[in-house]
Structure 1
């Protein structure tokens, strides 16, 4: 009986540039035409690869688009560093500084509209994105809020999950339902108003915001 050589690869290594091309194509097509516009055939054509290349990496277009959205989220969080470990004050400062710019650069209005439009017809996409990308980050941010509450920075009755939902929901409402294009400066001013309504005026004052 012959034994396989130790350390032998199971197959050809995946090329990062191929993954990048596929994910970029999937995100662009999703933003242009929603999930229906991001079929494997369309993504393959846009990325310059075969459908078999995509099938070897992702089992469904929902999984592919969810990964593309997740990568975009990860890239948007890069300026924040290891934000899971910071204080609420530091986190708020980073949100105010980096958030509006990131939302404008990623065309967040169109992206959010596509994601919300996928909820009725593509619950699998939303579930994958929530489980793999949104929920862990939400849990981390809730921990930051809970720590601030335990230190007396926030009122004892603060619910971390509701706190985060109010902040995120306000931004989504501003981007999706209010008519007119939004500038980076306008979004930043709105976020500051929301944060003050959430009881973070003292933190903002200390940050000079």
Structure 2
């Protein structure tokens, strides 16, 4: 079975850029890598149901609509775990977002309980879960400087973004995810750190 490496974090922290860099470097050293995006996999697994849930959350934000999005994400992750992830023939699967991202986007429910619900249900647990973080002001500016800008179904204001950044960092420490600070290291430095951690994990497997 492939080892699963996940990357989560608030918008604009440089997560997607880091995944591309890590995939390239792993290919260069002869590793078989598959890079996947949870959002794309979720669309296939759940179809329009997840879009409808997000529309309901946007129009009527609150505990019930947020819990429904979390429930569907858990359901989708179970399907993705048993199909794409467990069936991959690559040595390494790099996954752009997974259940740690509930700590970024779920605002109206108990995030720890939502993550625990994923784990109790049997959602695939990453071999390494990277939490990519930086100061909220930095990631906000980065997100608005890119072509797709913030591009969020949930976060609208800087206050929302700042709160989600603080929440994600705190829960990352609670669950022991591997924290990468993208405001105190370059993408190149973080890429080397991630590749070294993955290589070590493969050697120990």
Q: TM-score range by the shorter chain?
A: 0.3 to 0.5
Decide which structure has greater helix share: 1
Asked which structure has the greater CA Rg, the reply is 1
TM-score when normalising by structure 2? 0.34
Q: Name the one with the larger strand percent.
A: 2
TM-score (norm. length: structure 1): 0.33
